[in-house]
């Protein structure tokens, strides 16, 4: 496993520009030259063009983001061209999986889902240069998950071995106080017997 793996996301800048331009041109033509129903369709296209325009401008202002994974930490962008990212220990990664059917209409399948602690990060297929990059991120995180599970099993075995090696007859930690009280009572009784003699 490489010490550091970095996968840059793809901003899809020109796709947003194309959608915005086409929606504005077609929407304006429908409103200007056709009947009421087509005018309504033109308004819908203009609304959609506003979203594509916003996404296009955001790609100019902010970088797409980079997923960075090393031996101890994983850095995940909040989203595409959001400008913020979060760093976690690799031991905090809980689940890594793909969604291929239950995917929002605004995102392309497969959808990479990474659950870290109580947060969930999703990365659409079209946010990566190739599907191999998307699969590569999942494979590396799966290796870290397997390593974390192996370490957890070793810790459990070490704890069990430590309990088995405990000297026989030694009191349990919770019974230490009761054992002390019993010893004190025995000493007091022995003292009283000596005094009576």
- pTM to 2 decimals? 0.66
Are 84 and 77 in contact, with CB atoms under 8 Å apart? yes
Mean pLDDT, the chain, rounded, equals 81
- Residue 21 resides in a domain: yes
- Residue 38 resides in a domain: yes
- Residue 195 resides in a domain: no
The CATH number of the domain holding residue 69 is 2.30.29.30
Question: Which residues, in sequence order, are bridge partners of residue 96?
Answer: 114
Are 57 and 11 in contact, with CB atoms under 8 Å apart? no
Q: What span, in angstroms and rounded, lies between the C-alpha atoms of 155 and 135?
A: 30
> Residue 68 sits in which domain range?
4-151
- Residue 105 resides in a domain: yes
- Residue 145 resides in a domain: yes
- Residue 197 resides in a domain: no
Scored b (16 or more CB within 10 A) or e, 37-69 reads eeeeebeebbebbeebbebbebbeeeebbebbb
Report pLDDT digits (tens) over 2-18. Answer: 678 899 998 888 888 89
pLDDT of 86 > 90? The answer is yes
Question: Which residues, in sequence order, are bridge partners of residue 68?
Answer: 6, 75
- Residue 122 resides in a domain: yes
- Residue 194 resides in a domain: no
Question: Which residues, in sequence order, are bridge partners of residue 69?
Answer: 5, 74
- Number of domains observed in the structure of the chain: 1
């Amino acid at each position: 496993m490489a010490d550091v793996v970095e996968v840059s996301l793809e901003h899809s800048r020109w796709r947003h520009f194309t959608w915005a331009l086409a929606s504005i041109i077609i929407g304006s033509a429908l409103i200007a030259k056709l009947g009421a129903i087509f005018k309504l369709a033109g308004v819908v296209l203009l609304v959609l063009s506003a979203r594509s325009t916003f996404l296009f401008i955001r790609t100019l202002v902010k970088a797409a983001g980079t997923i960075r994974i090393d031996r101890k930490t994983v850095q995940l962008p909040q989203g595409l061209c959001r400008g913020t990212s979060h760093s976690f220990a690799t031991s905090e990664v809980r689940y890594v999986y793909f969604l291929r059917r239950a995917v929002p209409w605004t995102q392309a399948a497969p959808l990479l889902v990474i659950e870290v602690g109580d947060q969930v990060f999703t990365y659409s297929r079209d946010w990566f240069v190739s599907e191999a990059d998307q699969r590569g991120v999942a494979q590396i995180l799966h290796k870290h998950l397997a390593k974390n599970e192996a370490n957890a099993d070793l810790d459990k075995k070490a704890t069990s071995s430590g309990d088995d090696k405990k000297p026989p007859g030694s009191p349990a930690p919770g019974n230490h106080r009761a054992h002390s009280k019993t010893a004190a009572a025995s000493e007091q009784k022995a003292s009283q017997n000596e005094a009576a003699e």
